[in-house]
Chain A
Amino acid sequence: MTNSGSSVFQTAGLPRRLGDSRLNSERSEDEGRTQIMRVLVIEDDKETALFLQKSLKENGHTADLAHDGEAGLSLAADGAYDVLIVDRMLPRLDGLSLIKSLRTEGNRTPVLILSALGEVDDRVKGLRAGGDDYLTKPYAYSELLARVEALGRRTAPEEQQTRYSVGDLVLDRLSHRVTRGGEHILLQPREYRLLEYLMQHAGQVVTRTMLLEHVWDYHFDPQTNVIDVHVSRLRAKIDKNFDKPLLHTVRGAGYTIRDGPA
């Protein structure tokens, strides 16, 4: 027998299921639900930058481009952007220095770092430089979109809410109680954390990697469908005995919790 095939660090990003191309059309149907964001893409590879600009526009956001670090820094410092997407290796001024100088100027715009370096220590360096999230190339666009939208939301004031509600599902962060339609739902601690994270990002797509990172604090790809099993257990508890499902699977991307059409 061979015990050698298995997973490896992997980084954010590759959808476990296919159908990325369908994601855009699928998402655009409920455009109204996601906040429209101004994104600045600082990426020296023009093809990648244009692809990101086009894709973000398709998802209802606006995107400006900068192809080197200096241009990126002046745009980022002047314009009021909701999220910056910064490539780590840029001509003129590298991504990490760009972020550092932004942060010293007091600019707190959320930054998603894109990098070809995916190793453990590089992620740490990126986040230490002031980045808010780190995505390794090659990535799936659905992963990038989900992270950009999650970052854009972080500035929103409702972050420190003590109570989340989606439809008739309510999560009370003070008493750690979850109810649906007034009925108490008993959750395991991990299931509670999972639901809390999903509800914090209600209406947004949350990828499996994001769940693994934020609910379990692991930055590796577990290869097998471990997250799916946890989500389906949670779903069994919150949706099973109710008419209207709230926890939806977004094909090719991840999960979303929302009160709306399936």
Chain B
Amino acid sequence: MTALLDRIAKAASTTAFGLSALAVAFFLFAAAVVVGFLFWQTNKLFTDQVLATLTAESRILSSELKVGGQGKLIETVTALSRPEGLGLYYLADTSGSKIAGNLNRIPPELDTDGHGGVFSYQPSEGDGPAHLAVAIPVDLGPDLRLIVGRDVEDQRAFANSIRSVFLLGFGLLSIVGLLGGLAVSRRIVNRMDQITATSRQIMDGDLSQRIPTTGRGGELDGLASNLNEMLDRIESLMNGLREVSDNIAHDLKTPLNRLRNSAEAALRDSRGEDAYREGLERTIEKADELIKTFNALLLIARLEAGPLEDSTETFDLGRLVADVSELYSPAAEEAGFALAIEVEQGVFVCGNRQLIGQAMANLIDNAIKYSRGGEPGSTITVRAYRLDGQPAISVGDHGPGITEADRERALKRFVRLEASRTKPGTGLGLSLVAAVARLHHGEVRLEDNYPGLKVVLLLSSKCLIATAEGQGVAAAGIAAQ
């Protein structure tokens, strides 16, 4: 019972309830104004009607007096004064003593010098409740006083019944409105309670919780599914963070340990200055490796945190690809590779040139590192093209490739598939490429190059700048210079 009261109190204190109570109050006020006006109008209509009747009657009676004299008037008044009739009369002489009529006395509420008005009187027979009546005096000259009235008790009863119907209606409206408000707020409170409970569980550390949705698609469902999407994102970020801290432990601690070892070994070395020098050189080398890993981590974290502030520019993707390839081609040739460049002209993109260049450099560097050069057919193919309206860069080699099962894993941070453990590198190259792709709302695809690996860096079609035919030609001109 108290629980129910609690819930009701809770519902009553909600915004939803407050709003519905306010709406009910406004509605009642408007209804009261309308009803009051109606009531006043009706009352006026009835009163006017009664007054018109009384005026007509007084005119008839005064003409009776003129035509038939006092006797005729007394006769008529007496005839009209039926006990059950609605007409009320009082005829008196100048001294004030009653000559005829069904009223017992001049009602004290009426002005003695002759204005009409409302009064209450006791009907002649019986001792029921006093009735309400309206009367006006009739001017019959100095010798007679006549008051003509009308019983309006029926109208009063009618008005009373209307008033109670309205009061009842208002009461009912308020109660139903407030109960409705309570019911609505109970529903909202229930949904809110679900959301609150879920968020509390999440605050307690269970990030897998999600807010239930009804599937009816209301705004609360919209809110819930938005919150759920936000939670998905937070969960994936949290998982990423956890993964990173696990991997930092491994990939930063190991070189840190090596650095420490080499410094210690140099200190212990008995050869003196030369050994110290060598040791310090090794230490710097190891510190540099650490710094590189650190920088890579920070950059990836920065890219995943959201777009970079005004660092986008419009450039010719083909030209960038040709440029970076040109930078690498002597090194590739020395390693025994032929670098084949296939560039589609006029692919203008809006993006971060440095980052896309970096991503390409990583891909070419990987291709050189992980496939064998100096063999027939050891070609690395670099392409810039449009794939279904999306700007794309691909780097393909004919090395051992990555098995389909390992492809998704290879894009994750710090993942170094077995072969790479012996190769230098931070293990972050492909993850950085993936982060650059995400920054440009694109994706990275690892494909079979039959044989070998082909990495495709796809940028969003939004990054593609619409090019007219002429621009493509102009770009070709620039590239040729």
Contacts and interface: CB of A to CB of B under 8 A. Distances in A.
Interface of A: 1-11, 14-15, 18-21, 118-121, 124-125, 136, 138, 190, 216, 218-226, 229-230, 233
Top 8 nearest A-B pairs (CB, nearest first) are: A5-B425, A6-B429, A2-B420, A2-B417, A8-B296, A18-B281, A229-B330, A6-B362
Contacts of A225: 331
A7 B362 contact: yes
Given A14-B288, A19-B281, A120-B354, A6 B369 contact: yes
A139 to B, nearest CB: 10
Contacts of B462: none
B175 to A, nearest CB: 63
A220 B355 CA distance: 8
B265 interface: no
A127 to B, nearest CB: 12
Contact of B358 (A8, A15, A224): A8
Nearest to B334: A229
B359 to A, nearest CB: 10
A10 B419 contact: no
Nearest to B452: A1
Contacts of A136: 295
A18 B289 CA distance: 13
B441 interface: no
B72 interface: no
B159 interface: no
B423 interface: yes
B423 to A, nearest CB: 6
Q: Interface size bucket, B side?
A: 35 or more
Nearest to A212: B327
Interface string B314-343: 000000000110111011001000000000
Contacts of A124: 309-311
Contact of B429 (A1, A8, A15, A20): A8
Interface string B278-306: 00111011011001100110110010000
Contact of A4 (B277, B302, B425): B425
Main secondary structure of the interface of A (DSSP, over half): loop
Contacts of B302: 119
25 contacts: A2-B417, A3-B453, A4-B429, A4-B430, A5-B366, A5-B416, A5-B420, A5-B427, A5-B428, A6-B361, A6-B366, A6-B426, A7-B358, A7-B365, A8-B299, A8-B358, A8-B426, A10-B295, A21-B280, A118-B295, A124-B309, A124-B311, A218-B354, A224-B328, A229-B334
B428 A4 contact: yes
A224 B365 contact: yes
Contacts of B426: 5-6, 8
A18 B285 CA distance: 7
B137 interface: no
Contacts of B357: 218, 220
Interface stretch (B46-54, B120-128, B396-404): B396-404
B166 interface: no
